[in-house]
Chain A
Amino acid sequence: MREINLAKFVKGILALCLWLVGLQNCSLNSRQTKTLGDFSSQTVTVAKVGSKELVNMRQGVIAMNLSRIQMSGQQDGMPWYDDLDEKFDVRVVAIRLKALNTLLAYGSLLQALADTNPEKGINQATDRFIKQVKGLPKIQRSINDAQLSALAKAIQIIGINYMEERKKKAIRSILEISKPQIDFLCDKLADEFDHRKDGKLASQYLLTINNLFFTADDFYFDNKDQTKKEQALQAIQLANFHKERKNNYLLQISGAIHNLKKANAMLYKAFTQDSFDAKSLDDLVRNVQSLQEIQQILQK
């Protein structure tokens, strides 16, 4: 068996270390961490509130149609008992709920990837590796404990930085592929809550509200009976409740989804226009110092 040329081995390791640590900006910078956190938390809010409100809109449409039918019976051109939910049928709502949930999963997974810390696993694996190497008979004669510890530290620095760099590259690549899809979903979903966009679910909500106003007004106008007039007033109250939600709450949700699209643009920019910041500089200085110490130990 040939003698292990330790000096050559160490030089190789250090050259690789310097290349990995010195030439690359490995870990996520503070701007990337912040924009990712913002995007992820906004997907949670939008998905939770949006899902809840889609279901509420559907229930509101059913309640308003029931109220209208109780006053007018079957009307030409208006939905009947077999179509109380109108365009809010289960399939249509389920497709949009799935889109919101997929968006939520995307935001959460991206955050989980950014939060993954390979350090613990690498440190444990390095300790095991060094113990095994230390047990080799040729190594025992050519390298002391301090040098082995320095080697372990070098492996850890290389491993962690390599994984951080890979993680960052993975996020960048995912963002490049997914940005148009996220933008598309944000535009579509924001419009679903905006009654000013004809043809979207919020405009179905608007139409049902106005159908109820229309019928209740006729019912009030055509009846002398006090009980029926009260029934009409209750229907108008119900329509007013939903009109308020449509004009205020739903538009806020639409705005929040537009903001999510902006957060996605910021996130994309942070990863595609990578830059050094104070944190990256600190990391780099710390790594270079560690490498210098390692080099000194190994040269003894």
Chain B
Amino acid sequence: MPNFDMEIIEGDSDKPNAHTSIGAIIEHITTLRMQTRDRAARRELGLLYRKYSQLLQKKIDEVVDKDSQDYLKITGQLEKANESIQAAIAGTEQVANTLNFLTDAIQTITELAS
């Protein structure tokens, strides 16, 4: 019986870097298993599949939870940047507001003086 573990890890020489991730190893095991009807080979591949899928699931559980924390932190910071942009948009009326204030002030002073 072929040594599937070695074959999977070494990969296919026609496809360099094809097996650089656990996900790629899992896909390769699945393909090999679907191609063989040999019970012993299927059992062996089944064990390998279980090993690598557990490894990948463990990694997914760790990474996704850690990433969620990172997303919350960075999204919060970006929301503050968005508030700054909104304030800057509101600030584009500053000159007009100042002129209007001056106009109102002149009007009030004129009325008081007359």
Contacts and interface: CB of A to CB of B under 8 A. Distances in A.
A112 B91 CA distance: 13
Contacts of A174: 81, 84-85, 88
Contact of B78 (A136, A163, A181, A211): A181
Interface string A99-123: 1001101100110110010100110
B56 A118 contact: no
Contact of B60 (A87, A112, A128, A184): A87
Contacts of B88: 113, 166-167, 170-171, 174
B110 interface: yes
Nearest to B85: A109
Contacts of A122: 95-96, 99
Contacts of A181: 74, 77-78, 81
Contacts of A121: 93, 95-96
A198 interface: yes
Contacts of B91: 166, 170
Contacts of A116: 89, 92
Interface in B25-72: 26-27, 30, 33-34, 37, 42, 46, 49-50, 53-54, 56-57, 59-64, 67-68, 70-72
A122 B100 CA distance: 9
Interface string B101-114: 01100110010000
A103 B42 CA distance: 47
Contacts of A167: 88, 92
A96 B70 CA distance: 10
B103 A118 contact: no
A188 interface: yes
Nearest to A124: B96
A68 interface: no
Interface residues of B, number: 56
B22 interface: yes
Most buried by A among B23, B34, B74: B23
B71 to A, nearest CB: 5
Contacts of A99: 71, 74-75
Contact of A132 (B42, B60, B89, B103): B103
A276 interface: no
A177 interface: yes
B23 A207 contact: yes
Contacts of B59: 198-199, 203
A102 B7 CA distance: 45
Contacts of B13: none
B100 A128 contact: yes
Nearest to B114: A137
Contacts of B24: 196
A80 interface: no
A35 interface: no
Given A96-B71, A132-B103, A159-B95, A198 B22 contact: yes
Given A181-B74, A185-B78, A217-B33, A129 B102 contact: yes
30 contacts: A77-B53, A77-B54, A87-B64, A95-B72, A105-B82, A106-B81, A112-B85, A112-B89, A113-B89, A116-B89, A118-B96, A132-B107, A163-B92, A170-B85, A171-B88, A178-B78, A181-B74, A188-B67, A198-B56, A199-B56, A199-B60, A199-B63, A199-B64, A200-B64, A203-B21, A204-B60, A206-B23, A210-B30, A213-B30, A213-B34
Q: Which 8 A-B pairs have the closest CB atoms?
A: A199-B63, A121-B96, A125-B99, A170-B88, A159-B95, A125-B96, A109-B85, A199-B59
